[in-house]
Amino acid sequence: MKALVLQHVDIEEPYEIATALRRRGIDVEVGLPEGLHGVDALVVMGGSMAAYSDEGFPTRAAELALLAEALRRELPTLAVCLGAQLLAVAGGGRAVPGQAGEEIGWAPVRLVGEDRLFGGLPDSFPVLHWHGDTVELPPGAELLASSDRYPNQAFRVGPMAWGLQFHVEVDRLATERFVDRFGGDPAILDVTDACLAELAPTRTALLDRFAALVADPVRRTRSFFGPRAAEWDARFPDDEAAYRLAIAELAVTGRVLDVGCGTGRALPLLGPGAVGIDATPEMLDVARARTDALVLADGARLPVADGAADGVFAAGFVTHLDDPIAGLTELRRVTRPNGRLAIFHPIGRSTLAARHGHGLAPDDLLDPANLPAALAATGWAVDRIDDGPDRYLALAHAVE
């Protein structure tokens, strides 16, 4: 997992934002790429430029384009100070010079809304302000925090992008750097330790919630597959024959779970007892043209009773799991003794790796040298593995 940071000034680092992300195993990378491929979160920091002008801000257009892409993709985004102003512009609002003068130093903000980041936070908490510009919120944005001088202090655009006009990420050293570089009143430092101590639990809660959102595997799955759902079948028009053959070899009748069913192309072939389960609503919207036997759920936490399934068909599902062993264990839980499992991909591992420009990894769970042990550890016994260039199919049965 990777979080991209847009950093404008050397001293305006992500500080505690980076700490929270790294605690969740998320790499933090500073840069300005052309797009957000391979990026799981976007963090945009502050700076002395104006979000409403290209003057002295040559990267403004490129940053607005990345923020617009993040909004379209519903990528978790945290934008601070100048970053919040850029987020407002990218979302259809405005950044404007503040009419109440500069807001600099430690002062409280008060909570005026709640959501997955701000819910349950104190009604008021101290933050470090350092801005003269402000924002007019985009249409549909939710206001979350205000101050006496400027009401639009924290807001959310869409479901996954937050703007903070203030700084919660700073520590003592960062505050000293701000005062030294930007010419702030040295008296700011006299109250810094007390304000940081009061802010600490609120900052930890807010930033840990953001990091948990970035790391959430269901959210990442939906972020990837959701925008691609409508065109998914058109991208792979020749796969049906491979599906048909794999399902014939699975040879299960009765209650079959298609876990990670996607657009549901396997469901008619699996028979009238088949139920499709997928975590991405847009995929299930497409699948409804084929069947109504669909469940929106995380495949790693199935809403299915123990031993309820006669078989499980998993096309591509296992390779998308953060914890494949836990996923295989869950599939075994819902499968009756001697029930069948098919792990399938309509393209062979070697062919797929070549398509992506790399070789086969020796630690790939699906490698025939690795999979039998993983299956045995999770309650399955291998029947057969076909690891050819044209498809991948592993068949197993649930041991008692």
Cα–Cα distance for residue pair 297/310, rounded to 1 Å = 19
pLDDT tens string 291-307: 999 999 999 899 999 99
**pLDDT-based confidence at residue 6 (cuts at 50, 70, 90):** very high
What is the arithmetic mean of pLDDT over 126-154?
A: 97
pLDDT tens string 239-283: 989 999 999 999 998 999 999 999 999 999 999 999 999 999 999
pLDDT over 90 at 352, yes or no = no
**pLDDT-based confidence at residue 217 (cuts at 50, 70, 90):** confident
pLDDT tens string 382-391: 999 999 999 9
123-136 b/e (C-beta count within 10 Å ≥ 16 → b): eebbbbbbbebbbe
pLDDT over 90 at 178, yes or no = yes
Cα–Cα distance for residue pair 385/388, rounded to 1 Å = 9
- Looking at residue 171, what is its pLDDT? 96
**Which of 312, 327, 283 shows the shortest CA–CA distance to 395?**
312
Q: Is the CA virtual torsion 312, 317, 319, 320 positive or negative?
A: negative
- Looking at residue 221, what is its pLDDT? 87
* Domains (range + CATH), the chain: 2-215 (3.40.50.880), 226-398 (3.40.50.150)
What is the arithmetic mean of pLDDT over 95-116?
A: 95
Are the CB atoms for 129 and 151 separated by under 8 Å?
A: no
- Looking at residue 316, what is its pLDDT? 86
State which amino acid sits at residue 79. Answer: A
- Looking at residue 21, what is its pLDDT? 97
What is the arithmetic mean of pLDDT over 191-218?
A: 96
Are the CB atoms for 18 and 56 separated by under 8 Å?
A: no
Cα–Cα distance for residue pair 76/36, rounded to 1 Å = 12
pTM of the predicted model as reported, rounded to 2 decimal places: 0.77
pLDDT tens string 31-56: 999 988 889 999 999 999 999 999 99
pLDDT over 90 at 355, yes or no = no
- Adjacency order of strands within the sheet including 274-278: 294-296, 274-278, 256-259, 309-315, 335-345, 392-398, 380-386
* Two tokens, residue 304: 């299915």
Cα–Cα distance for residue pair 358/351, rounded to 1 Å = 10
